[in-house]
Amino acid sequence: MSRPDAEIKEDLHLELTSKCALKCPACPRTERFGDYTVTELSLDALKNILDFDYKYKIVSLCGDHGDPIYHSQFHNVIELLLDLPGAPSLHIATNGSGRKADWWKATAELLRPKDRVIFGIDGLEDTNELYRRGANWQSIMTAAKTLKASGNSQLVWQWILFEHNQHQMPEARKVFEDVRFDDFWVVQSFRSSDTSCKPATITIDEAKMRFQNG
């Protein structure tokens, strides 16, 4: 239970787990495989970490070494976060692969309109796995469509721009509309050691324009 005068803080970033099903090039998990323990924060550890004397505006679940959806008690974690003072919005970043439709339906039923699920999908069915190695396109589409059909959280598509996917903006717009994503973000790759995926030859603004024009 928090104090009535709990102090307001802007943002809290939680790394729930180092588990991930993918092997993206230049990811620390891939480059330093075996150098760290694959584990997750227990619910008791999270309760100790979380400060119930603060009202956070946003709680971000965006893994640097793992993907939050692979936490074994993910739904229990979400329920815990929903009880935080100030009712912060939850931002969940994921590659979206490997969970079944009923799991995503349960997730959708927990999340609120101000919560956001950000799918890292860096291309279409023929290009996404060039970087997101081990991703499953059909599994991702099932995830996104189930979330949209079963709940009312915000659905965001985040696309890392590479040379191999920069030509797919018009096709991406069609998928975006079919799934009914709420927003589309384009970002540059920041992992300079990634030699298998060449940098884009167009700018972020050019990519956005191609997407908008369909």
Q: Where are the beta strands (DSSP E) in 22-101?
A: 54-61, 89-94
Burial 33-58 (b: 16+ CB within 10 A, else e): eeeeeeebbeeeebeeebeeebbbeb
Q: Which amino acid does the sequence have at 124?
A: L
d(CA 7, CA 148): 34
- Residue 169 domain flag: yes
- Residue 66 domain flag: yes
| Predicted local confidence at residue 4, as pLDDT | 42
Number of Cβ within a 10 Å radius of residue 145: 16
| Predicted local confidence at residue 52, as pLDDT | 79
Region 114-121 average pLDDT: 98
Q: Is the pLDDT of residue 1 over 50?
A: no
Q: Which of 191, 207, 206, 198 is nearest to 24 (CA)?
A: 191
pLDDT band at 122 (very low <50, low <70, confident <90, very high): very high
Q: Are 128 and 122 in contact (CB under 8 A)?
A: yes
Q: Of the ranges 50-64, 130-144, 193-207, which is most confident?
A: 130-144
Q: Is the pLDDT of residue 2 over 50?
A: no
pLDDT band at 210 (very low <50, low <70, confident <90, very high): very high
- Residue 179 domain flag: yes
- Residue 1 domain flag: no
List, for residues 27-69, the tens digit of each pLDDT value.
Answer: 877 777 777 788 999 999 999 988 778 888 999 999 888 999 9
| Between 10 and 103, residue with greater pLDDT | 103
| Predicted local confidence at residue 5, as pLDDT | 47
Q: Which of 135, 102, 103, 125 is nearest to 174 (CA)?
A: 125
- The domain that holds 175 is classified in CATH as 3.20.20.70
- Residue 14 domain flag: yes
- Residue 181 domain flag: yes
d(CA 186, CA 118): 12
CA geometry: angle at 153 spanning 181 and 88, to 5°? 130
d(CA 129, CA 21): 12
- Residue 87 domain flag: yes
Q: Domain limits at 29?
A: 7-213
d(CA 69, CA 61): 9
Mean pLDDT of all residues belonging to the chain: 91
What are the φ/ψ torsions at residue 165 (nearest 5 degrees)? Answer: -125, 0
pLDDT band at 196 (very low <50, low <70, confident <90, very high): confident
- Residue 2 domain flag: no
pTM of the model: 0.92
